[in-house]
Amino acid sequence: MLLSASGAYFLVALIAAAVSYVVAHRKGLNAVGWAWASLLLLVPAAILPFVPSRQRPERSIGVPDETWQALLAYDPDIKAAVGRLAPYGAPPLDELRRAWAAVPDKGALPSMVSAIEARWSGYTAVGLTHVETQDGVAVLRDAAGHYHVGERQTGDLRTARLIASASARRARTSSVAGIVVGAAVLAAAVTGAGPASAQPGATGMTLPSCETYDPERPRGGTREQLSDLFDLSIYRWGDAEYDRYRAFLLDCKRTLPGFREDMTLRDWEAAVEKSIATLKTYTGYVNRFGEPMGRQNGSRPRPGEPDYTRAFEILSCDRFTEATVNAWTSGGPPDASTAAPFSVPLAAWHYEVWRAFENRVLACGKKSGSPVEADESWMRVIVSQQEAGNAAAIRQAQQEGAAGAARLAGILSRAAEAENSTSADDIAGKLKAVDALAAGLKLAPAEAAQVAAARAHIGARLRAARLAEAEAWERDRPAREARAQQQEEELAGLQRQNRERDDAAAAERERAARIEAERQAGTRAQAERQAAEAVAQQQRDAAQRTADRAAQERAAAETLARLRREEETALARDPCNRVEVRRQLMEAANAMDRARFGGRKLLDLTRGLTNSGQPDAVRSCVFDAEWSSGQRGLVTITVRKNSFGDDLIEVRP
C-alpha cells in the first residue's frame, strides 16, 4: 500500500542516515553523529559529501598485535593453525587473524583453517603464488608471469593492481547498497508497508488448526508427537517456537478438552505455562533447576540435513539397555557401527540428539521391567557419562566433517570458476586443484557423484578450450611464420653485434690482464721486502726477549737469596727456635696422652717461629715436626695458664 507523508519522510530519513553513517565512517568523521543528524534533518546528508576527510592512522587487522603475538606464543591451537597455513605465505595468516577476530571460538578454528587451507592449496596446486594484497584483494602470479585477480588475468602488475582496487570498490559499493536496502526494509516493516509481518512460518514451525491438534495431540504417549504436528522437532524449538506454541494453546483453549467450563482464563494460562515448562525440561531446553540451556542447542539443521532427533523412535526398546548405552563407543547395539552409534552418525550427536536419546532410554527403561534400567536417575548418570566421555571424539568427527565440507566446497568452487575461464591452461589448473583437493577425501555417494560430475564438466570445458586454441593456432599460422622470419633476421643482426662486442671485449681483457700481471709483480716484490724486514724484526725481538728473561731470572735468584737470609736471621733471633725451648715443648707434648695423636710421638722440632695469632697464650710456636711414624709436617704448640696458674699444653698438627 502507499505510504503516508510521515511514513515516506521516515523511510527517506532512514536511508539518508544509513548513507551518512557509511560516508562519514570512510572519511574518518563521527559516523554516529552524522547518522543521527541526517535522521532528524536531511540537510546534513547533502552537506556530508563536501566535508574534507580526516586523516586517521591505519588500524591493525582484526586482533591487536600484542594479543595476536601472545596467542602465537602461548596458545597451542593458534600456534598449530598458523603452522598449517604458514607454507602458503602471509595472506592466509591475515585471513585467519581476521576470522579469529570475528569469531574467537576454538570450536570454529578447525573450520576456519580448513577453508583457508583449501583455497590457498588450490592456488598452490595450479602454480599460483601470492605477489601482494591491494585494498584487501589478493594479486597472484602464475609460472608464465601472468597476474591473476579473481577470475581476471593480465600480464602487467600495474593493471592487476587497478583491477584489485576496482574489485575492492565494487565490494564497498555492494556493502553500502546492502545497508541502504536493509534500512529500506526496516522502514517498510515499521510503517507497515511490507509483507514481513505476514510471514507466520518465519521460524520454521507450522501451526496446525485447533481441530487437527485436538485428536492428534499426545495423550499419555511420547511428546515427540508434537514434532509431527508442528513440522519441527521439539528438540529444536527456541523462544520464538515456544511463544507461538503458547499463543496457539491460548487461542485453542475452548476447543481443547483440558479447558473446563468452570476454568478461568488465568487458570488456563497457568496450566499452559506448566505444560510448556514440562516440555522445556523434557527436551533439555532448561535443566532440572529451570536454568536455560539454549547455548548448547547449536544451530538449526540446514535445508536437506536430516533431523536425527527422530532416529531413535524407529528403533525397538531392546536396543536401549544399560549394556548398549555403556557400549556407546562401540556403536551401542551389537550390529551397530562405531561411526554411527545407534544408527546416528558420530558427527551428528549434538546436544539435542543426546536429549532425544536420553528420553528414549528412559522411556524404554520403564517398559523393560529391570529395576536398574527403570531407575531414571541411574540411567541419566550413564547417559551423561557417555555424553561427557565421548565429547572429544564427537568434536573431532565434527571437525573432520567441516574440513571435508570445506574441501568439497573448494572443489565445487573450482568447477564454477572453470565455467567462466577461457584459457586451457587456466582450466587445466582448475582440474589439478580439484584432483589435489579430492585426494584422500572420504565422501558420501551423493558428494562423490557431485565431485565426479564437476570433474567431468571441467574435463569437457578443457577439451573444448584446447580445441578452440588449436583452431586459433592454425588461423594464426601465416602471421606466426612472418613473425618468425622477422625474428630470425633480428637474431642474425643481434649475433653480428654480439661478435663485434666480443672482439672488443677480448682486446680489453688482454690489456687488463697485462696491467694486472704488472701490478701483481710489483705486489710480490713489495711483499718479499716486507717479509724480509719482518724476519729481521722477529730475530731482534727474540734476542731482546732472551736478554730480558735472563735479567728476570737473575733478579728472582737475588730476591730468593735475600729472603732466605732474612728468614735465617729471623730464625736465629726467634725465642721459639732456641734449643732449650724446642726440647722443653717437645717433651711437654710427648708427655700428653698419645691416644690423641694415634700413638705417635714427636722425635724432633726444628725451625721454630713465634705464632702471633695467639695473643692470650704464654707462648705459641710453629715448628717443622718429625713424628715417630716417619711423617713430617708443621705443628703448633701453645702454652696457656689455667685458673690455678698451671701450664696447659695444646698441640695442633
pLDDT in tens, 556-614: 999 999 888 888 888 778 888 888 888 888 888 887 766 566 677 787 888 887 877 77
Question: pLDDT averaged over the chain?
Answer: 77
User: What is the distance, to the nearest Å, from the Cα of residue 492 to the centroid of all Cα atoms in its chain?
Assistant: 59
CA count, 13 A, side-chain hemisphere, 559: 6
Domain boundary, last residue among 451, 470, 489 = 470
The four Cα atoms 93, 79, 402, 64 give a dihedral, to 10 degrees, of -50
| Coil vs helix vs strand at 148 | strand
Domain boundary, last residue among 389, 414, 433 = 389
User: What is the distance, to the nearest Å, from the Cα of residue 443 to the centroid of all Cα atoms in its chain?
Assistant: 27
pLDDT of 69 higher than 60: yes
- Bigger pLDDT: 2 vs 221: 221
> In the sheet where 137-141 sits, what is the strand order?
129-134, 137-141, 147-149, 152-154
Grid coordinates 710489483 are at which residue?
522
Quote the pLDDT of residue 177.
45
For residues 564 and 588, membership in a common domain is answered with no
For residues 619 and 543, membership in a common domain is answered with no
User: What is the distance, to the nearest Å, from the Cα of residue 399 to the centroid of all Cα atoms in its chain?
Assistant: 15
- Domain assignment of residue 62, yes or no: no
Which of 61-70, 179-188, 566-575 has the highest mean predicted lDDT (pLDDT)? 566-575
pLDDT of 277 higher than 60: yes
| Coil vs helix vs strand at 36 | helix
Give the type of residue at 20. Answer: S
Instruction: Quickly state the pLDDT bin for 221 (edges 50, 70, 90).
Output: low
Contact (CB, 8 A) for 122 and 131: no
pLDDT of 511 higher than 90: yes
pLDDT of 62 higher than 70: no
For residues 481 and 565, membership in a common domain is answered with yes
> Cα(621)–Cα(624) distance, rounded to whole angstroms?
10
> Cα(470)–Cα(30) distance, rounded to whole angstroms?
59
> Cα(638)–Cα(649) distance, rounded to whole angstroms?
6
- Bigger pLDDT: 48 vs 440: 440
Quote the pLDDT of residue 254.
62
Q: 408-417, 473-482, 500-509: which has the minimum mean pLDDT?
A: 408-417
Quote the pLDDT of residue 59.
42
- Bigger pLDDT: 543 vs 201: 543
Q: 54-63, 308-317, 536-545, 592-601: which has the minimum mean pLDDT?
A: 54-63
Quote the pLDDT of residue 330.
82
Instruction: Quickly state the pLDDT bin for 295 (edges 50, 70, 90).
Output: very low
Q: How many CB atoms lie within 10 A of CB 629?
A: 12
For residues 495 and 453, membership in a common domain is answered with no
Determine phi and psi for 200, rounding to 5 degrees. Answer: -70, -20
- Domain assignment of residue 516, yes or no: yes
Grid cell in block for residue 298? 547449536
pLDDT of 545 higher than 60: yes
- Domain assignment of residue 381, yes or no: yes
Grid cell in block for residue 190? 515499521
Average of pLDDT values for 224-248?
84
User: What is the distance, to the nearest Å, from the Cα of residue 201 to the centroid of all Cα atoms in its chain?
Assistant: 41
> Cα(87)–Cα(123) distance, rounded to whole angstroms?
12
| CA distance readout (Å), 485 to 477, 491, 499, 550 | 12, 10, 21, 92
Average of pLDDT values for 53-68?
60
- Bigger pLDDT: 163 vs 270: 270
Quote the percentage of the chain above a pLDDT of 70: 78
Contact (CB, 8 A) for 324 and 341: no
pLDDT of 186 higher than 70: no
For every residue of 544-592, which 3-state class applies, written as one string? HHHHHHHHHHHHHHHHHHHHHHHHHHHHHHCHHHCHHHHHHHHHHHHCC
- Domain assignment of residue 116, yes or no: no
Q: 84-88, 91-95, 379-383, 435-439: which has the minimum mean pLDDT?
A: 435-439
Grid cell in block for residue 346? 558420530
Instruction: Quickly state the pLDDT bin for 178 (edges 50, 70, 90).
Output: very low
Helices (H), 28-151: 31-40, 43-47, 65-74, 76-85, 90-102, 109-125
Q: What is the DSSP letter of 203?
A: T
Contact (CB, 8 A) for 128 and 145: no
For residues 216 and 267, membership in a common domain is answered with yes
Q: 50-59, 202-211, 250-259: which has the minimum mean pLDDT?
A: 50-59
Which DSSP helix (H) or strand (E) runs through 625?
Answer: strand 619-627
Q: 301-305, 402-406, 621-625: which has the minimum mean pLDDT?
A: 301-305
Q: CA angle at residue 573 from 572 to 574, to 5 degrees?
A: 100
For residues 463 and 536, membership in a common domain is answered with no
For residues 579 and 568, membership in a common domain is answered with no
- Domain assignment of residue 526, yes or no: yes
- Domain assignment of residue 273, yes or no: yes
Beta bridge partners of 178: none
Contacts of 451 by beta carbon, 8 Å cutoff, 6+ apart: 408, 411, 434, 438, 443
Quote the pLDDT of residue 536.
93
Quote the pLDDT of residue 514.
93
- Domain assignment of residue 239, yes or no: yes
> Cα(270)–Cα(262) distance, rounded to whole angstroms?
15
| CA distance readout (Å), 576 to 97, 610, 625 | 89, 6, 13
Radius of gyration of the chain (CA): 49
> Cα(34)–Cα(36) distance, rounded to whole angstroms?
6
> Cα(437)–Cα(405) distance, rounded to whole angstroms?
11
For residues 354 and 383, membership in a common domain is answered with yes
Instruction: Quickly state the pLDDT bin for 188 (edges 50, 70, 90).
Output: very low
* Domains contained in the chain, number: 6
For residues 292 and 207, membership in a common domain is answered with yes
Quote the pLDDT of residue 546.
92
Summarize pLDDT for 13-22 with one digit per residue, the tens. Answer: 778 778 888 7
Beta bridge partners of 139: 132
| CA distance readout (Å), 91 to 117, 153, 405, 406, 579 | 11, 19, 22, 18, 98
Q: 44-48, 242-246, 589-593, 636-640: which has the minimum mean pLDDT?
A: 44-48
- Domain assignment of residue 106, yes or no: no
> Cα(324)–Cα(398) distance, rounded to whole angstroms?
23
For residues 491 and 528, membership in a common domain is answered with yes
> Cα(640)–Cα(653) distance, rounded to whole angstroms?
17
pLDDT of 265 higher than 80: no
Grid cell in block for residue 33? 553523529
For residues 286 and 262, membership in a common domain is answered with yes
Average of pLDDT values for 337-360?
84
Quote the pLDDT of residue 50.
58
pLDDT of 301 higher than 80: no
What range defines the domain where residue 511 resides? 476-572
pLDDT of 53 higher than 90: no
Domain boundary, last residue among 448, 470, 492 = 470
Nearest to 157 by CA among 127, 132, 120, 129: 132
Q: How many CB atoms lie within 10 A of CB 603?
A: 14
Quote the pLDDT of residue 41.
60
| CA distance readout (Å), 16 to 23, 26, 45, 184 | 10, 15, 6, 10
Average of pLDDT values for 151-179?
65
Quote the pLDDT of residue 230.
84
Quote the percentage of the chain above a pLDDT of 90: 10
pLDDT of 507 higher than 60: yes
Instruction: Quickly state the pLDDT bin for 31 (edges 50, 70, 90).
Output: confident
- Beta-strand ranges (E) seen in 187-336 are none
For residues 214 and 280, membership in a common domain is answered with yes
Average of pLDDT values for 495-509?
92
Q: 197-211, 607-621, 630-644: which has the minimum mean pLDDT?
A: 197-211
Contact (CB, 8 A) for 191 and 182: no
